[in-house]
Structure 1
């Protein structure tokens, strides 16, 4: 489900479930967290850039709805907190994390991309938070990061509409910073810089002391919506 390969100072982390558009289960999230956090153990001699991407023409469809449909309120809160923990691992990693986005990034997949330091889309990539259309929202830190990336007004319009935007629109909005045929080239560009300077710069730009409170409230709200709309999610699977 998660394939990891280290190539010099770049660690390739591949979401490897193409038959489900790389939707993430609980096991998949835990494996992804381990792949990201493992860089901490390598220290200064380990990878200085992580390249996160999906296999099979999709970045990630987000949470696996087959699992979401079976959650009760308590489990929904825990699931949200797990996704938040993975996103925090991405933000807190000493390595620069580059998201290479091919095809769709939806819901939790988009939220994990938002946690990355650099987001690069291919010309055919697309982006959306469709959960609102069936009574939910992504709860892996998206309500914290989306306004930070887009500004409050654009974040509200994008999230509340549930619309999908293409790569050019995403670039104009600031969801991604570049469009490239080969997004990994950006990771190769960054990795040529001094590892200690990259880590220090990331720490300063990422300094955010209020995130935990916002994420707790986000997870609680997700649990309430699962209580109200869990049957609707199950209906999507029929």
Structure 2
């Protein structure tokens, strides 16, 4: 259900959610496989995509039905999805979501956990759970307002509506619209791996500003030292 490929120079890992017959909806087994595929990555960039006409429909509804209304089992399932999202967000690799077709519910929540989100012109985005009495519980209520702001997050989540790529770009759900989102992952993978990792840590850092600025300066000093020859070459 989860396919992993690495390019020839080991700069880019492609992780594919491969369940097109179910719009790449995620079961317990595929959630664990996705977590392992991200956690095991030693490439500096990971490209996350879905196979077929959808990026990911989120939680498999049959799996949710099998919870049989058991509150504790439902909490356990939510925590598993949250753990996978944290694995994506906390990965040392830069994780790029390439979104083609629908990203719904948990699929959108996993995209929100990625560092960069790129959609095709045919991509669409939604949190439809509210229309049948649920909501995305894989960290979406935390990340959605952080990414698009509280006002848009509330309207988007409470309405249950889907938005197209252009509106998603306006809201900040995605950063670019590309016919081939993988090209963005390749652009990023062409850069210095250590610098990519430092930038992710610094931009993701949510500690108070003085601490962030001190760590930013230290990281800059480390990189200047590590890349002194590269900097000199630019002046030649």
TM-score bucket of the superposed structures, by smaller chain:
0.7 to 0.9
What does 1:166-177 align with in structure 2 at a 5 Å threshold?
166-177=164-175
In 2, Cα distance between the equivalents of 1:116 and 1:15? 15
Task: Establish whether residue 99 from structure 1 lines up as the match of residue 101 from structure 2.
Answer: no
* Deviation, structure 1 residue 114: 0.3
Aligned pairs (5 A) from 1:23-42: 23-39=25-41
Match of 1:4 in 2: 4
Deviations 1:147-168 (CA, angstroms, capped at 9, x unpaired):
0001001100000000000000
Q: What's the TM-score, normalizing by structure 2?
A: 0.85
Within 5 A, what are the aligned runs for 1:11-160? 11-39=13-41, 46-71=42-67, 72-160=70-158
- Spell out, residue by residue over 1:136-185, the C-alpha distance to the aligned partner (whole angstroms, 9 max, x if none): 00000000000000100110000000000000010011000000000000
Q: Structure 2 unaligned segments of length 5 or more: list them.
A: 208-236
Equivalent residues in 2 for 1:155-234, closer than 5 Å: 155-208=153-206
Q: In the TM superposition, what is the alpha-carbon distance from 1:208 to its structure 2 partner?
A: 3.7
Moved over 6 A (4+): none
Aligned Cα root-mean-square deviation (Å) = 0.8
The higher relative CO (CA closer than 8 Å, separation ≥ 6) is in 1
Q: Distance in 1 between matches of 2:149 and 2:193?
A: 30
Which runs of no fewer than 5 residues in structure 1 stay unpaired? 40-45, 210-238
